[in-house]
Amino acid sequence: MSRAEFSYDFPHRHLVSVADLNPVDIQIIFERAAHHLAANRTPDKRSDVLRGLTVLNLFFEASTRTQGSFEMAGKRLGADVVNFAMANSSASKGESLSDTARTLAAMKPDIMVVRHSATGAPQFLAERTGLSVVNAGDGMHEHPTQALLDSFTLSQRWGEVGGRRILIVGDILHSRVARSNIGLLNILGAEIRLCAPPTLLPSDVDQWGCDVFHDLDEALTGCDAVMALRQQRERMSGGFVPSEREFFHLFGLTHERLEAASPDVLVMHPGPMNRGVEIHTKLADDPEKSVILDQVESGVAVRMAILELIGANIRKEAVA
Amino acid sequence: MSTTRAIINARLVDPASGQDGPGGVLIEGGIIAQIGTELDLDAADEIIDARGCILAPALIDLRCAKEPALTPDGETVDTLCAAAMSGGFGTIVLAPNARSPLDKADGFAGMSRGLAQRGVRMLSACGATQGLAGEQMAEIGLMVRGGAVYAGCGDRPIRDTRLMRRLLSYTSQFDVWLSCRPADSDLSADAVALESDWSARVGIPSEPAVSERIAIERDAALAELSGGKLMIDRLSTAAGLDALRHVRGRDLEIAATVAIAHLTLNEVDAGGLDSAFRMDPPLRSEADRMALVEAVTSGEIDAVISDHRPTPFDDKGEPFALAIAGTLSLETLLGAMLGLVHDDELSLLDALRVLTSGPADLLGLPQGRVAVGAPADLILIDGDKPWVCQPDGFASARGNSAWSGRRFQGRVLQTIVAGDTLYNP
């Protein structure tokens, strides 16, 4: 059933978790993202659908690409974008998160884009401030825009993500990207495989609706796409694998190993990438297989779609 | 090996099948081709009449040590092999220890290939942590790819519970055993004896037997949590055995080995503070020893190991409490084990099971049994021949033996590996 056959508008004022989305919401996001993707390739990128709205980029963890991507998305839609680098701010002077939230809310922004090292921080800020919140990564919990841009990148190539076999390999235990992707790909009906050493898998992973592997060659068999994840050293305590080279020998993606996968397999990575650890440098740069830069491009388009859809709902509420 | 050999008229003892009766084997191309009393002898190039002898699978040892290469007068691969052959071993596994931690992935595959060139099948385990320090995981995956047959923690237990969990979890993906000494690091720190009347009277650092029980319960709980395969390395007390029985009721993979020293010696042997009896784990009480022997009979012990440990000085050079732990035992293990059989403490089948099919099954090896299609790794034993243990006559380069001067009954006549006789004094 296409969307034209019934009346349904994107209902959300926040994007905190992929679990809040249904397949139609995702379709709406992808349609708008496709529009922006095309527009971003022209010299005439700028629109003013968000004119008058202020987007606050609130990054309690260091980020360059995600923050830049959101900033570019907001600016291309005509919003006023303000970056707060919270890593060296009042939070480090002992202010509680609720006080920070109230202070920032008093400046009357409209949308807060939040990254925080603690699971649940975006939800917490949404509840305390009443503002629209977009989760740009909370601890090891969720990174919904990354999952959306990953599936959008694949849908641009394939049309449909449902029914495809997708492998996520690497540090799944510490990865919010993996958690959001598993949630979203399940909603979209893809077949999900996970591959990692047992030390880098959550203990209840067999309940996640995925097939779990410890042998990469076996896991790659017949895969349509494979996503490599880096080891999140900043979230690790003690050693989970003996060395980077052992990890590469056992779990690193190479051209040879991809021969077990589908001939048109696509290789993805959310970045930042550690060449020679989770992916062979030649594979990362292979334009036939790697869609890593497409993911970055899709990122801006998907974030534009989300800000635009949320912005429209903010205006609707203001009118009401 | 292309010649066809037959061994006839023996008492064929094969623990894997439970057979103990008259019989023989026909060997073709290093493989056992026929078994029984009616062999096709026309095909045989050579016939060995083994009347009055026991024919059994060659022994398998899961834990022995050589000394680091270039150690002056040290136990080399050559002397270790010679000791193994004369002790009746067809397969031995080098295990990591402080002097030779086997923790480097570089060159591991080359070492494994080199060890495979010897007549005796020499395999190697790998160290589970870097330098066996119990702090950082070693490159277990690369070493398993290089031929390591299990991962071992060395002589000391893993103190860090979180690391132990991760080791069990990490090794589970390779389906290899993690072998760990069962002792609580703090309770057993610096201990050289069991906490007992004797150790209290002579005033030496000692550990309570429950140290072993606490460790087994901890490690078994972690194995259950992580899905890892836990090998209890050198079970030595009745308290530890109780814990093993208790955890075996749960859903986990667990195996237990016992060193020959703990099956045949006790703390009274160390009563004179002779450094030869300084062992790791320390020698236990007679009640502990008897419980372990019964556990061999009941099938609760998977393998008896030599824990063969050459040390630089034959007399160990230091008094008991300071001496290096360990004893040579490859050349005396069978004699000591047959002693238990002669004393009616063990049946011959049970004694041989933990030295052949028991360890073979733990590692998934095809040898360790007299079966058609299995490698022709066999020993001929004179079960009654008396002899006296004299370390001067050992093939080993060293002489530190806890059985020095002991009288044994039963000796290896031939050791055959892949159909070739390697030892025939």
**B206 and B342 fall within a common domain:** yes
* Residue B50 and residue B79 share a domain: no
| Facing A197 at nearest CB: one of B130, B138, B173 | B173
Catalytic position from the list B61, B155, B307, B350: B307
Report d(CA A134, CA A56) in Å as an integer. Answer: 10
Nearest CB partner across the interface for B170, out of A197, A243, A249: A197
Is residue A90 within 8 A of residue A146, CB to CB? The reply is no
Based on the domain organization, do B203 and B258 belong to the same domain?
yes
Verify that B20 and B93 share a domain, yes or no.
no
How far is the first Cα of chain B from the last one, in angstroms, to the nearest whole number? 21
State how far residue A145 is from chain B, nearest Cα, in angstroms. Answer: 32
Q: Residue A238: its chain B contacts at CB < 8 A?
A: 162-163, 166
**By the 8 A CB rule, do A253 and A169 touch?**
yes
Q: Name the residue with tokens 């609580």.
A: B184
Give me the interface pTM, i.e. the ipTM: 0.90
Instruction: From chain B, pick out residues whose CB is under 8 angstroms from the CB of A198.
Output: 169-170, 172-173, 226-227
Measured in degrees and rounded to the nearest 5, phi and psi for residue A54 equal -110, 130
Dist. CA B111–CA B127, nearest whole Å: 14
Can you tell me which residue has the tokens 């000394």? B67
Q: What is the dihedral of CA B55, B58, B59, B64, to 10 degrees?
A: 150
Q: What is the pLDDT of residues A149-181, one digit of tens each?
A: 999 999 999 999 999 999 999 999 999 999 999
Residues of B in contact with A243 (CB under 8 A): 139
C-alpha B105/C-alpha B103 separation (Å) is: 7
Alpha-carbon span B182 to B158, nearest angstrom: 9
Any chain B CB within 8 A of the CB of A213? no
User: How open is the CA angle A79-A84-A87, to the nearest 5 degrees?
Assistant: 155
Q: What is the CA radius of gyration of chain A?
A: 20
Q: Domain holding B107: CATH number?
A: 3.20.20.140
Residues B31 and B121 in one domain: no
Q: Which CATH superfamily is domain A3-139+298-319 in?
A: Aspartate/ornithine carbamoyltransferase (3.40.50.1370)
* Residues of A (2-41) whose Cβ lies below 8 Å from B: none
Backbone angles phi, psi at A199, to 5 degrees: -70, -15
How far apart CA B283 and CA A31 sit, in angstroms, is 75
Report pLDDT digits (tens) over B114-124. 999 999 999 99
Chain A environment of B137 (Cβ under 8 Å):
239, 241-242
> Which strand (E) or helix (H) includes residue B221?
helix B210-226
A238/B170 touch (CB, cutoff 8 Å), yes or no: no
Provide the residue range defining the domain that includes B123: 58-363
Task: Give the Å distances, CA to CA, from A230 to A111, A227, B252.
Answer: 30, 10, 32
* B140–A199 C-beta distance less than 8 A: no
Low-confidence ranges of chain B (pLDDT < 50): 1
pTM: 0.94
Q: What is the pLDDT of residue A231?
A: 86
* Cross-chain residue pair A246–B163, CB shorter than 8 Å: no
Judged by CB atoms closer than 8 Å, whether chains meet at A246 and B172 is answered as: no
CB pairs under 8 A between A and B: 48
Q: How far is CA A190 from CA A25, A84, A181, A187, B368, in A?
A: 17, 37, 11, 8, 48
Please state the CATH superfamily assignment of the domain spanning residues A144-289 in this structure. Aspartate/ornithine carbamoyltransferase (3.40.50.1370)
β-bridge pairing B407-417 and B420-423: antiparallel
Instruction: Mutate one of A205, A246, A248, A251 to test the B interface: name it (highest B CB count within 10 A).
Output: A246
In-domain check, residue B399: no
Residue type, B122: M
Q: Looking at CA atoms only, how far is residue B174 from chain A in angstroms?
A: 9
A268 Cβ neighbours under 8 A, 6+ residues apart: A150, A153, A154, A225, A226, A227, A228, A290, A291, A292, A295
E strand or H helix that includes residue B302: none
Q: With a cut of 50, which residues of chain A have pLDDT below it?
A: 1
Q: Is B12 inside any structural domain?
A: yes
Tokens 């680091």 sit on residue? B68
A positions 178-197 inside 8 Å of B (CB)? 197
Tally Cβ neighbours within 10 Å of residue A189: 12
Q: Which has the closest alpha carbon to A57: A3, A139, A125, A155? A: A125
Query: Would you call the peptide bond into B319 cis, given omega within 30 degrees of 0 as the criterion?
Result: no
Q: Which of B137, B162, B225 sits opposite A242 (nearest CB)?
A: B137
In a domain, B370, yes or no: no
3-state secondary structure chain A: CCHHHCCCCCCCCCECCHHHCCHHHHHHHHHHHHHHHHHHCCCCCCCCCCCCCEEEEEECCCCCHHHHHHHHHHHHCCCEEEEEEHHHCHHHHCCCHHHHHHHHHCCCCCEEEEEECCCCHHHHHHHHHCCEEEEEEECCCECHHHHHHHHHHHHHHHCCCCCCEEEEEECCCCCHHHHHHHHHHHHHCCEEEEECCHHHCCCCHHHCCCEEECCHHHHHCCCCEEEEECCCHHHCCCCCCCCHHHHHHHHCECCCHHHHCCCCCEEECCCCCCECCCECHHHHCCCCCECHHHHHHHHHHHHHHHHHHHHHHHHHHHHC
- Domain assignment present for residue B402? The answer is no
Nearest to B141 among A238, A240, A250 (CB): A250
Contact list in B for residue A199 (CB cut-off 8 A) is: 166, 169-170
Structure tokens at B370: 């007299």
Among A198, A245, A246, the residue with its CB nearest the CB of B172 is: A198
User: B91: which strand partners?
Assistant: B60, B121
Using CB atoms, pick whichever of B142, B166, B225 lies closest to residue A240. Answer: B166
The Cα–Cα gap between A49 and A75 comes to 10
Disruptive mutation site among B165, B170, B174, B225 for chain A (greatest number of A CBs within 10 Å): B170
Residue that is written with structure tokens 């080995």 in the block: B257
Q: Which residue of B has its CA nearest to A248?
A: B142
Whether residue B392 lies inside any domain: the answer is no
For residue B23, the 8-state DSSP code is: E
Contact: A203, B139; criterion CB under 8 Å: no
CB contact under 8 A, A242 and B227: no
User: Kind and range of the H or E element at B225?
Assistant: helix B210-226
Rounded CA separation B216/B229 (Å): 13
CB contact under 8 A, B137 and A241: yes
Chain B nearest C-alpha distance from A272 (Å): 25
- Collect all residues of chain B within an 8 Å Cβ-Cβ radius of residue A242: 130, 136-141, 170
Q: Which residue's entry shows tokens 């034209």?
A: A4
- Across the interface, of A238, A239, A249, the residue whose CB is closest to B141 is A249
Q: Is A241 on the interface with B (CB under 8 A)?
A: yes
Whether A218 contacts chain B with CB within 8 A: no
User: Could you tell me if B154 and B251 lie in one domain?
Assistant: yes
Contact residues, chain B to chain A, C-beta under 8 Å = 105, 130, 136-142, 145, 162-163, 166, 169-170, 172-173, 225-227
If asked whether residues B321 and B418 sit together in one domain, one would say: no
Distance CA A14, CA A22 (A): 14
Q: Which amino acid is at A91?
A: A
Tell me the chain B residues in contact with residue A249 when contact means C-beta distances shorter than 8 Å: 141-142, 145
| Cα dihedral sign, B147-B369-B295-B271 | negative
Q: Are residues B177 and B247 in the same domain?
A: yes
Residue A150 has φ and ψ, to the nearest 5°, of -65, -50
Non-local CB neighbours of B286 within 8 Å, separated by 6+ positions: B266, B268
Identify which of B105, B137, B226 has the shortest CB distance to residue A239: B137
Using an 8 Å CB-CB cutoff, list chain B residues near A239. Answer: 136-137, 163, 166
B344 among known catalytic residues:
no
Claim to verify: residue B353 and residue B381 sit in the same structural domain: no
Q: What is residue A3's predicted lDDT score, i.e. its pLDDT?
A: 55
- Contact call for residues B349 and B369 (beta carbons, < 8 A): no
How many domains is chain B partitioned into structurally?
A: 2
Residue B368 domain-assigned (yes or no): no
Is A45 touching B (CB cutoff 8 A)? no
What DSSP designation does B275 have? Answer: G
pLDDT at A30: 98
User: Any idea what the Cα angle at residue B292 is, between residues B290 and B297, rounded to 5°?
Assistant: 95
Identify whether residues B167 and B22 lie together within a single domain. Answer: no
Asked, for residue B396, whether it belongs to a domain, the answer is no
Which residue of chain A comes nearest to B104, CA vs CA?
A242
Question: B278-298 burial by CB neighbour count: b if 16+ within 10 A, else e?
Answer: bbbbbbbbeebbebbbebbbe
Question: Domain coordinates of chain A in residue numbers?
Answer: 3-139+298-319, 144-289
Test B141 with A242 for CB contact under 8 angstroms: yes
Interface membership of A255 toward B (CB under 8 Å): no
| Backbone phi and psi for residue B127, each to the nearest 5 degrees, phi listed first | -70, 140
Give the minimum alpha-carbon distance from A162 to chain B in angstroms, rounded to a whole number.
30
Task: Find out whether A170 and A263 touch, Cβ atoms under 8 Å.
Answer: no
Residue B299 belongs to a domain: yes
Instruction: Please tell me if the domain spanning A3-139+298-319 has the same topology as the one spanning A144-289.
Output: yes
Give residue B190's region: left, alpha or beta (phi > 0; psi -120 to 50): left
B140 vs A242: CB contact, 8 Å cut-off? yes
- Given an 8 Å threshold on Cβ–Cβ distance, is A246 in contact with B141? yes
